[in-house]
Amino acid sequence: MPALLDQLNKVYFWDIDPALLDDNNSKRLIIERIMNYGNLKDIQLITSHYGLDEVKTILCSLNYIDPKTLNFISLLFHIPKTRFKCYSRKLSTGRHWSF
């Protein structure tokens, strides 16, 4: 079976030297990039490689997920938005010009 990084598009890691990436040591970055930029095939690949529970745990611990991706992840994995760290952080910081 080929290594996970060999199966993923290198475009997702445009700003990183591929030689520095490792399937296990870089899993947080890999999961974050795939969920933000990958397609369903890539998502299936990382969930089968890392396991569904590990992917969910990492996603819930990320400091930032853009709102559209958060909605998608929440629906895809049946996780309430309130369980995501990024959602809690967003609610705790007030807006400057709230009307």
pTM to 2 decimal places: 0.85
Integer CA distances (angstroms), 33 to 11, 13, 66, in order: 10, 8, 12
At 89 the pLDDT is 73
Instruction: Give tens-digit pLDDT for 49-95.
Output: 999 999 999 999 999 999 999 999 999 999 999 999 998 776 555 55
Residue 96 has pLDDT above 90, yes or no: no
**CB of 5 closer than 8 Å to CB of 23:** yes
Neighbouring residues of 21: CB distance < 8 A, sequence distance ≥ 6:
5, 13, 29, 30
Q: What is the mean pLDDT of the chain?
A: 89
